[in-house]
Amino acid sequence: MHHLLPKETPAAIVLLLHGLGADGRDLIGLGEGWRPVLPRTAFFAPDAPEACDLAPFGFQWFSLRQWNMEAIEAGLKHARPLVDAMIDDLLKKYSLPPSKLVLGGFSQGCMLSLYAGLQRKEALAGILGYSGALFGFAQPPLRENAPAVARSAEQGANIQGAAEAKIMSRPPVFLSHGTQDEVVPFSASQLAAHTLQKENINVELHLIERLGHGIDPEGLDLGAKFLQRVLEKKKKKMSPLAP
Taking the C-alpha atoms of residue 191 and residue 201, their distance in angstroms, rounded to an integer, is 14
- Three-class secondary structure of residue 11 per DSSP: coil
pLDDT of residue 65: 82
pLDDT of residue 235: 44
pLDDT of residue 145: 39
In one-letter notation, the amino acid at residue 10 is P
- Please state, rounded to an integer, the average pLDDT across all residues of the chain: 88
CA distances from 228 to 182, 221, 242 (A): 30, 11, 32
Taking the C-alpha atoms of residue 168 and residue 23, their distance in angstroms, rounded to an integer, is 29
CATH superfamily of the 2-232 domain: Alpha/Beta hydrolase fold, catalytic domain (3.40.50.1820)
Q: Give per-residue pLDDT as tens, 19-71.
A: 998 999 999 999 999 999 999 999 999 999 998 988 778 999 999 888 788 88
pLDDT of residue 236: 37
For residue 209, is pLDDT > 70?
Answer: yes
Per DSSP, the residues of 107-143 read THHHHHHHHHHTT-SSPPSEEEEES----SS--PPPS
DSSP 3-state helix, strand, coil percentages of the chain (rounded to 5)? 35, 15, 45
Taking the C-alpha atoms of residue 87 and residue 91, their distance in angstroms, rounded to an integer, is 6
The region of weakest confidence among 70-84, 129-143, 158-172, 209-223 is 158-172
Q: What percent of the chain has pLDDT over 70?
A: 85
Question: Exposure string (b/e) for 3-12, b if CB count within 10 Å is 16 or more?
Answer: ebeeeeebbb
For residue 220, is pLDDT > 90?
Answer: yes
Helices (H) and strands (E) in the chain, counts: 6, 9
Taking the C-alpha atoms of residue 93 and residue 170, their distance in angstroms, rounded to an integer, is 24
Alpha-helical segments (H) within the chain: 25-34, 69-93, 108-117, 148-157, 187-198, 217-232
Average pLDDT over residues 151-174: 65
Question: Exposure string (b/e) for 108-122, b if CB count within 10 Å is 16 or more?
Answer: bbbbbbbbbbbbbee
Average pLDDT over residues 84-105: 99
